[in-house]
Structure 1
Amino acid sequence: MRRRNGINALRRLAGLALALLLGHGGTALAATDAAPAANDMAQRVAACIACHGRVGATSNAGYFPRLSGKPAGYLFNQLRSFRDGRRFNADMTYMVQHLSDAYLMEMATYFAGLDLPYPPVSPASDATPAQLARGRQLALEGDAARRIPACVQCHGAALTGVQPAIPGLLGLPRLYVSSQLGAWLTRERHALAPDCMAEIGQRMSTADVNAVASWLAVQPMPADPRPVAALPAPLPMACGGMPGK
């Protein structure tokens, strides 16, 4: 019963968010309309905060990812993927299905521009030392035998993301990281072609997914948590979200 009530509450929030995103009084915002003022956008995306929070969840029991400070290109690509069917979440699809690219970019740019502190990360973990060691190996070294590049090769040495479209991996709930990696493993999540994360995810085992998610979830945020401007070397494989890289 508690789970059902929670789902119903999320659906009510999704309905409220759709009303706010499409415009006051339920009037749809056309792609040709002028971009909303910054304070108006803050009001329109307020419903997003109900699930994602202003700084994101840090508990291992949390699920919704932080939006604040992520690269605008990454957020824009995810919003488009929910709208266009590459990612699947009924509430997210319902909220963005009628929104134009221009409006989605306005939303992405708003959240990317928020400079909010990260809460302390709880070091508690029920992962075994062996699982954490495997997670650290995958994040920092990869697994050459299985053609799995290290997370740092794409997400930056500090794992805080890379402009314009690669997200950071720290400060995210373990459940969220493991579920997204698992969705690539099971071919339930897709990105713009070439879908590099789908290739990587399908080379990982369930044990790998749990290990790297557990290790990432307990890492402290660096002094500068912002995405870096560029990587020191080319990406190890082509990724559709980073054209020309």
Structure 2
Amino acid sequence: MIDFYYWPTPNGWKVSIMLEECGLDYRMVPINIGRGDQFSAGFLAVSPNNRIPAIVDHDVDGEPLPVFESGAILMHLAEKTGRFMPKDARAKKELLEWLFWQVGNLGPMAGQLSHFVNYAPGKHPYSKNRYANEYNRCLGVLEHRLSNREYILGDDYTIADIVSWPWVLIAKPLGQDLTEFPNVQRWRHAIKVRPAVQAGVNLGKEYRRSAGPDEQERQLLFNQKSRSKP
């Protein structure tokens, strides 16, 4: 059994999709990031960065194993199940490159763009344009990569696809038309119709926000500084 600490966000969807794709037994533990659940001592013991997603894998030798950060979780689950990760050394090298590309480029750029689109509309045009351009650039990188292959690594669907796909799913709400990226459009659709992907995205949909955060939630979400203790 896996305890899955989750809130419905693109970062959370990466792991919910992987759990569904692998058919693993898991228990969702909602972490309400607008209420501050991520700062509890119990969650800090699992995720030192106070961010979702995180897991605790009870199906391991020895003590239950906590894993935080979505890329690390996907690698752990891929190695655990022997699925969605190539065994060939050269292909695995490429998988790691694209995994780190997502966590260092596509995800952060889309996440920052989302902030200025959804939580500070019209307030910081330079910042919004900066991240919109970087998000567009990342989609161009992905478009080129997919120009002669079905998935990011070729014929096989892997965690390289799973980790990047949620940030492309939300392109339209971020103001990015995908018609200039036909290969990305095709790839996005091919993944979207997978039953496990649909189940992963729908997980916890009852928790999705229907309105913007109030002032207390904004303080919790956007104005945190170090909580270091001597």
Q: Common fold, TM-score beyond 0.5? A: no
Which protein is richer in strand relative to its size? 2
Greater relative contact order (Cα < 8 A, sep 6+): 2
Q: Provide TM-score, normalisation by structure 1.
A: 0.27
Q: Provide TM-score, normalisation by structure 2.
A: 0.28
Which protein is richer in helix relative to its size? 2
